[in-house]
Amino acid sequence: MPATSSPRPPRPTLAEQFPAPDSLSEIARRLAERYLPTPPTPRRAAEPTDGLIGTILSQQNTAAITRRQFDALKAAYPRWEAALADGPDGIEAVLKAAGGGLSRVKSAYIFQVLDRLEETRGTLSLKDTREMDDTQVRTLLESLPGVGMKTASCVLLFDLARPAMPVDTHIWRISRRLELTPGHWNAVKVEKWFDEVLARDWQVRYTFHVSAIRHGRETCKAQRPRCEACVLQELCPSAGVFLNA
Nearer to ligand SF4, 23 or 233 (CB): 233
Q: Which of 150, 189, 192, 221 is catalytic?
A: 150
Angle at CA of residue 165, ends 159 and 171, nearest 5°: 120
Query: Pick from 73, 154, 178, 213: which binds ligand SF4 (CB under 6 A)?
Result: 178
Burial annotation 157-168 (CB, 10 A radius, 16+ → b, else e): bbbbbbbbbbbb
Nearest to 154 by CA among 49, 55, 46: 55
- Residue 81 and residue 1: Cα distance in Å, rounded? 65
User: CB–CB of 187/232 below 8 Å?
Assistant: no
* Part of the chain binding ligand SF4 (CB under 6 A), chosen from 13-21, 116-124, 195-203, 224-232: 224-232
State yes or no: residue 181 binds ligand SF4 (CB under 6 A).
no
- Residue 140 and residue 151: Cα distance in Å, rounded? 12
Nearer to ligand SF4, 161 or 239 (CB): 239
Amino acid in position 217: R
Nearest to 110 by CA among 130, 133, 83: 83
* Part of the chain binding ligand SF4 (CB under 6 A), chosen from 28-36, 135-143, 171-179, 189-197: 171-179
| Residues of this chain, 45-74, that bind ligand SF4 according to CB under 6 A | none
127 is catalytic: no
State yes or no: residue 177 binds ligand SF4 (CB under 6 A).
yes
| Residues of this chain, 111-150, that bind ligand SF4 according to CB under 6 A | none
Least separation in angstroms between residue 225's CB and ligand SF4 is 4
- Binding-site ranges for ligand SF4 (CB under 6 A): 174, 177-178, 219-220, 225-227, 230, 232-233, 236, 238-239, 242
- Catalytic positions are 150
